[in-house]
Structure 1
Amino acid sequence: MPPAAHCSDAARRRGDRPRPTARRSNGRPLGHRIPRLGQDRLGRATRQGRLLMPPLIIRPTVVPFVTAWSGEHLGPESDLTVQLTPGPRLGYQAPRPTDRDTAGALWARMTHSPGTGRPIYDSMHVARQRICMYSMKCQICGNPASRNKDGWLFINWRRPWDPPTWPEGSLTEQPPLCEPHARMSVEQCPHLARGDYAVLRVQTPRLWGISGTNYQLTTGGWHARESNVMVPYGHVGLNAVLASRMIRELRNVTVIDLAK
């Protein structure tokens, strides 16, 4: 049956096209309802009674390239100023060529000293995340990420803001991976045991925008209002956000079995 046969009569009259859904590697569509994770008596993650991964280890054997270290610090807010180009936008008093990306977003500054202190596994270094996401590098080793005829290799877990078609059309701050480190992530990453996730091949990982801290311009200068604000490229709100994560939208997604 052709795809149009799945549309309602009203949709056909409007000329609407059905929204794409993620495809499994065997060609069947991924359902919108994702079974919740559970645990067995040993604390291992399960889905519908089936073991998902080996027992979690206390400490990963590799510190990911994008991981921030306790010895790395964000720049002070006192470095920020108001730029008029022609309207007011967030800027630095002493601008550098790398402060803004090609879309004009202003990025937070962070010292670069990996290996200093202890790794903070639930935090990504601003510049290293940006490099991996923009240049499609593996977030674990920093080398080129895996890509084949089905697309780039990502691991993505469901977030509250994801569309019903998840993982198709989802937004991610997690850079892609190479195959060896994707397998390592499934075995060792504790975050993957906290919610539904999928290993993906993505043909169109479109640059969508950034997330960061939203600032408000007052008579006393810029003052932080809200963190982890997601803003698409081209939006006027980009002028008042200090970016800390680059975001890609995952389109033309295939859910795969990493063991194959």
Structure 2
Amino acid sequence: MCSIDFGFIRDFVKHVREKSSSDNIFCCGEYWEDSATTVNKYLDDIGVQFTVFDAPLHYNFKEAGEAKSAFDLRKIWDGTIVQSRPVDAVTLVDNHDTQVGQALESWVSSGFKPLAYAMILLRLDGYPCVFYGDLYGCGGKNPQQPVTQLEDFIRARKLGLLGPSQLCWLGTDRRGESSRWLCSLFHVSTSQVVLCNGSEGVKTMEVGKEHAGEVWTDVLGWHTGEVTIGEDGRAEFRCPAESVSIWVNKDAHGRDEFSKAK
């Protein structure tokens, strides 16, 4: 859905960059379609680097939040702009149009929002955008509570807890008929981010032998236990049901900035 001709957008972006003598000026617009194929064609037609809001990702978040443990988290990025052209994607969870009572109402469930924000804020690809209403709450006829400790997710990004490497899926935890996929968003030595969209999950992950003996805790405080890194650089990390854990060395710089710092 676009109300401005793509030719005008193309010429406008070219003009601004030419007049500023810089090809690095950030330009963003809203082309709200849930089809990555349609959005990619639009960006191709513009013919210059241009960034759009990742509507397909928003709808994946909505679907995952409604399906809960029935949704395979490995597919959360499928058909998204950030997957196909990360430099052109502004990643988001909700906005003023998707909130309850608005024209494009497709509100992501409150229970899934912490997972969704962990995915966009602790991932290197894309330009994450935080909705004011999720950070401070929504008033009016359809009030919504703010996302719990969203400021700590932002703080984790600010302090560099996201990693420079690619997304890694580390496996599944199976019990009986159920299957819950966990993910380490950034498999690096500085942190481990674990998400679970089912019941409580656990996964053994490697952080590096140089961290042997260190004690790590969840900076969110949602998992109250401690993890000691083994001599082989591996440890067992847990995540509460339908939740997120961000495991970091308890003595890491900036730990005292978190609202539930231990």
For the aligned pair, the TM-score class normalised by the smaller chain equals under 0.3
Which structure carries more strand by proportion? 1
Greater relative contact order (CA < 8 Å, ≥ 6 in sequence)? 1
Larger Rg: 1 or 2?
1
Using structure 2 for the length normalisation, give the TM-score.
0.23
Which structure carries more helix by proportion? 2
Using structure 1 for the length normalisation, give the TM-score.
0.23
